[in-house]
Amino acid sequence: MATSVGHWCLRLPHRVAPWRSSFHHCENTALSHSLQPLRKLHFRAFRTDARKIHTAPTRSMFLLRPLPILLATGGGYAGYRQYEKYRERELEKLGLEIPPKLAGHWEVALYKSVPTRLLSRAWGRLNQVELPHWLRRPVYSLYIWTFGVNMKEAAVEDLHHYRNLSEFFRRKLKPQARPVCGLHSVISPSDGRILNFGQVKNCEVEQVKGVTYSLESFLGPRTCTEDLPFPPATSCDSFKNQLVTREGNELYHCVIYLAPGDYHCFHSPTDWTVSHRRHFPGSLMSVNPGMARWIKELFCHNERVVLTGDWKHGFFSLTAVGATNVGSIRIYFDRDLHTNSPRHSKGSYNDFSFVTHTNREGVPMRKGEHLGEFNLGSTIVLIFEAPKDFNFQLKTGQKIRFGEALGSL
């Protein structure tokens, strides 16, 4: 009996083994099913001194998506800027003067890193695409509604006449739409809004109230050539004093901002002679009044074309400043000018003289004569010499149209 019991005890593991095997098989099957979703993850193995461990990579479970992060950051920053502008408007309503809050160097550098020149060239190509006849009216009507364009002033009111956006932007006006004021010596060269005006003090010019730019950086360094309308630089005189060629005169400036809905051509503001052109390739940042209050020396950063010459009171200059989507600046009598070109690098400039051996004076311009055009809204800056009794008949922020008076003696 003992032998029988002992024999049974010895063989018990062998008899229970199939049952235990079946139990372990069921357990493994259930575990396998529960872990099936995790098997879809890519596992990475790494070895330690004790044992080999498998772990899923962190980026598989927490994917960092750059676009949503960028949009969230940019949206938050834009919202903050809008809140700041709202606060400023409310304080202005209360009659409180708000000092301008200028952008930091990192903010300007970040803005300049945006490929605005490339985007503007792409926009220019898009503007040249001919629109189907049926699409012209809805596209132009949307633009007219958005920016408040007055098509009753256009020489051609029929929207189907304009084959592409570029032709629509450069539309001509009816002759009687902009009468030229003959009683005043200087008229507005374009439609727009007056950002600032007045005398140039020291060597700084106000782009808006409280925010300045360097006169020398804007017009460029001196070039010792006979055809320039100002003498070579000397060590004792300031840049401003060298521009004033006649005793008793002062240097004046006026800044006119052209909105996208404004008439995009610009004209001669007075009777003068253009002797020199200087082209500055540069950035194409927005030049709207908000940006002009935020970025110091905004006009010096942007691409611009400086026309200099003489009028009856001495030095006179007109500068067309480019902006985002406004890399194209055209001067009608200057066929060699090509703005926003990839061959021109930022930080440089190129000069062209209209004074030749056969033409010792330059290009004469009559007041109100067509001078050039922008592809979209931008800015015109006038800097000129005049007697001390020259008076502007303007208010900062006022709307003005081409042909209306800027000032007179």
Q: Would you please indicate which residues are annotated as catalytic (active-site) residues?
A: 191, 267, 378
Task: Locate the DSSP E strands across 281-378.
Answer: 304-311, 314-321, 329-331, 350-353, 363-365, 370-374
CA distance 205 to 151: 35
212 bridge partner residues: 206
Percent helix, strand, coil in the chain (nearest 5)? Answer: 35, 25, 40
Instruction: Please enumerate in sequence order all residues whose Cβ is within 8 A of that of 292, keeping only pairs 6 or more positions apart, or say none.
Output: 195, 207, 208, 211, 257, 298
CA distance 339 to 162: 24
Task: Locate the DSSP E strands across 174-270.
Answer: 186-187, 192-199, 204-208, 211-214, 249-257, 265-267
CA distance 382 to 218: 12
The 10 Å Cβ neighbour count of residue 230 is 20
- Distance from the Cα of residue 235 to its chain's centroid: 36
Dihedral angle over CA of 17, 23, 29, 34, nearest 10: -140
